[in-house]
Amino acid sequence: MPEVPQPDPRRIAENLAQVRARIAAAAARAGRDQAAVTLVAVSKTQPLAAIEAAYAAGQRDFGENRLEELWPKVEMAAQAGLGEIRWHLIGTIQSRKTPQAVGPFVLIHSVDRMKIAARLSRDAEAAGRVMRVLLEVNISGEASKHGFAPAALMAEAAALADLRGIQVQGLMTMAPLEVEAEATRPVFRGLRQLRDALAAAYPAIDWRQLSMGMTNDFEVAVEEGATLVRVGSAIFGQRMA
């Protein structure tokens, strides 16, 4: 069998520094404070050694999209002494797996429909927890994308706020993969505008977070108001699997 390449800690540290510099530059262009943007290092398919390298370089927020991969990493990281990691669940949650989504996660980015919100709330209440969540919105309208339609979310926001096992913190979206990052700007601007409309209509809900932007377009997302960007390959290189 071919040998699995080992992560290069120095390269990961250099990549992290470059991504942080790009976030700072994008924030400056938009007249924003770079401290208002949290970098979530997407570590899916990456080995623990890659997470350890990023952690040693000061990274604390990590995102995983598969529950079956996330839970072992939570345990391995704890055993390795990486006690300050803030885990983000960024992938789609299947309805039968909502009990597994209740755990020590700082934020769930991907509540994409009312059914998932209700089941997650039920399971969190049963576990004596309140999970902080973002509502995923399909701003682009692509059939391949998950998420609430904007109009549907406006109509269902009050019911979402009544769910006692979750606490809404804002919105998330995924833009289409474009050759030119600038082409994603209308999607990110649309999410920010929807957030502002929801905040005006439902001021009792906390809408502070906007999770948007990935490796290919995070600078545009920062310029349009992202508070969380999800960056993987620009930090770790190509996925390990």
Model pLDDT, residue 238: 76
Q: Alpha-carbon distance 33 to 116, whole Å?
A: 34
Domain holding 134, by residue range, is: 9-233
What would the two tokens of residue 63 be?
């995102």
Q: What is the CATH number of the domain that holds 96?
A: 3.20.20.10
The predicted model scores a pTM of 0.94
Does residue 47 lie within any of the structural domains? yes
| Three-state SS at 13 | helix
111 near 85, Cβ under 8 Å?
no
Helix then strand then coil, in percent of the chain rounded to 5, is 45, 15, 35
Count of structural domains, the chain: 1
pLDDT over 70, % of the chain: 96
Model pLDDT, residue 119: 98
Does residue 74 lie within any of the structural domains? yes
pLDDT tens per residue, range 93-102: 999 999 999 9
Whether the pLDDT of residue 2 is over 80: the answer is: no
91 near 102, Cβ under 8 Å?
no
Q: Alpha-carbon distance 121 to 89, whole Å?
A: 15
Does residue 206 lie within any of the structural domains? yes
User: Tokens 């990110």 — which residue?
Assistant: 188
pLDDT interval class at 141 (50, 70, 90): confident
Model pLDDT, residue 240: 54
Does residue 238 lie within any of the structural domains? no
Task: Please give the backbone phi and psi of residue 62, each rounded to the nearest 5 degrees, phi first.
Answer: -130, 140
Q: Which residues contact 195 (CB under 8 A, 6 or more apart)?
A: 170, 171, 207, 210
Whether the pLDDT of residue 176 is over 60: the answer is: yes
Model pLDDT, residue 239: 63
Model pLDDT, residue 140: 81
pLDDT interval class at 1 (50, 70, 90): very low
Model pLDDT, residue 4: 57
Residue type, 159: A
pLDDT tens per residue, range 61-94: 999 999 999 999 999 999 999 999 999 999 999 9
The β-bridge relationship of strands 131-136 and 209-211 is unpaired
Does residue 121 lie within any of the structural domains? yes
Whether the pLDDT of residue 202 is over 50: the answer is: yes
Q: Alpha-carbon distance 226 to 171, whole Å?
A: 10
Does residue 51 lie within any of the structural domains? yes
Q: How far apart are the first and last CA of the chain?
A: 14
pLDDT interval class at 151 (50, 70, 90): very high
Model pLDDT, residue 68: 94
Whether the pLDDT of residue 196 is over 50: the answer is: yes
User: Tokens 């345990």 — which residue?
Assistant: 75
Does residue 2 lie within any of the structural domains? no
pLDDT tens per residue, range 214-226: 999 999 999 999 9
Does residue 23 lie within any of the structural domains? yes
pLDDT interval class at 11 (50, 70, 90): very high
Q: Alpha-carbon distance 9 to 181, whole Å?
A: 28
Whether the pLDDT of residue 19 is over 90: the answer is: yes
